[in-house]
Copies of this chain bind each other. A is one copy, B any other.
């Protein structure tokens, strides 16, 4: 079974109205995901607002989800940081707390070339025992991981998989083909909420859609249809989920983080999955009018409390 097989949602980090972690909501959310049919959960990702959590909060989230998952599904943990030395500190730390795999980006802030970035992944992989998944997210990290480098690191046993949030579908199809030609050392997953059918068609092993926090069962159905080769059903479910994804475009004139994750949290709160849609400072939550529009979309696609 491929490491990133099926649907592995990047888990939202629910907050109480005062901005502190809301662990009861986190529990409820994770149960909602598992009962919805996901294959794993990914904490401390971009949708989990890892950037806004202190080290102490990160520890709390990891501990809670590891305990709750209790081996039912694997727990992937994100470790974004500026360099190999710092990622290693984080990766060893979360491995010790029970992470089943770590999800590692290219360096932040640093100005490294492709050779240095490959070595960055090698240094991290050497320092931990759990599998390393490369997280390709140029919109945040400002580096695109190359197809040849990823497959080579797969061959070397450095990387076990790739979560592709690059939006570069040409590169992803080339990666799928090159990985297959190399004996499939990598498990390949797309981060794109609205392209899961197409990516499954071309050979993705799974998907890591933030929107699955809102409708895990929908994504599970989509994946099942795709796995069975029922592309008409897969497309229909994906079209429904693409309509649902329009919640991310309801907020206008907001930052990327405030709009997208704000919409996911507003929807999850409206559905009662989490208690409040509170956003970490300095971001503000959505307006009532925006939330109403989001609720209307939830109704439209058949999601109700």
Residues of A bordering B, CB below 8 Å? 46, 50-55, 57, 80, 82-86, 89, 107-113, 115-117, 119-120, 122-123, 139-142, 167-170, 173-174, 177, 192-195, 197-199, 201-202, 229, 231-232, 235, 238-239, 242-243, 246, 249, 254-258, 280-283
A235 vs B199: C-alpha distance when bound (angstroms)? 11
Tell me which of B54, B82, B115, B193 contacts A51 (CB under 8 A): B82
A sample of 18 cross-chain residue pairs with beta-carbon separation below 8 angstroms, ordered by A number, consists of A50-B82, A51-B107, A51-B110, A54-B85, A82-B108, A83-B280, A108-B108, A111-B256, A113-B258, A116-B258, A119-B282, A167-B168, A167-B169, A170-B194, A174-B194, A195-B198, A198-B199, A231-B231
Which B residues are in CB contact (< 8 Å) with A229? Answer: 231-232
**Are A89 and B170 touching (Cβ within 8 A)?**
no
Which residue of B is nearest A253, CB measured?
B113
Considering the chains assembled together, what is the distance between the CA atoms of A264 and B235 in angstroms? 33
A142 CA to B111 CA, complexed, in Å: 12
Complex Cα gap A231–B249 (Å): 31
Contact status A85-B280, CB under 8 Å: yes
A178 to B192, CA, bound (A): 18
Count the copies: 4
Q: How far is A195 from B172 in the complex, measured between Cα atoms in Å? A: 10
Decide yes or no: A109 and B198 within 8 Å by CB, A142-B142, A170-B192, A231-B231 being known contacts. no
In the complex, chain B residues whose CB is within 8 Å of the CB of A193:
170
| Residue contact A110 to B169, C-beta cutoff 8 Å | no
**B199, B201, B281: which contacts A123 (Cβ < 8 A)?**
B281
Q: A113-B255, A201-B235 are in contact. List 19 more A-B contacts (CB 8 A).
A: A51-B83, A51-B107, A51-B108, A52-B85, A83-B280, A85-B280, A108-B108, A110-B257, A112-B257, A112-B282, A115-B282, A116-B258, A120-B282, A170-B192, A170-B193, A173-B194, A195-B198, A198-B201, A202-B235
Is there contact, CB below 8 Å, between B108 and A52?
Answer: no
How far apart sit A111 and B257, CA to CA, in the bound complex (Å)?
A: 5
User: A4 to B273, alpha carbons, bound, how many Å?
Assistant: 44
Min CB distance, A265 to chain B, in Å? 15
Instruction: Give the CA-CA distance A139 to B86 in the complex, in Å.
Output: 21
A199: chain B residues within 8 A (beta carbon):
198
Report the bound CA distance from A170 to B196 in whole Å: 11
- The 10 A-B residue pairs whose C-beta atoms are closest, nearest first, are A198-B198, A111-B256, A119-B282, A51-B82, A113-B255, A231-B231, A52-B83, A116-B282, A111-B257, A51-B110
Determine if A282 and B84 form an interchain contact, defined as CB atoms under 8 angstroms apart: yes
Bound-state CA distance A238–B249 (Å) is 32
Q: How far is the CA of A86 from the CA of B193 in the complex (A)?
A: 29
How near does chain B come to A83, taking the closest CB pair, in angstroms?
4
| Chain B residues whose CB sits within 8 angstroms of the CB of A141 once the complex forms | 109
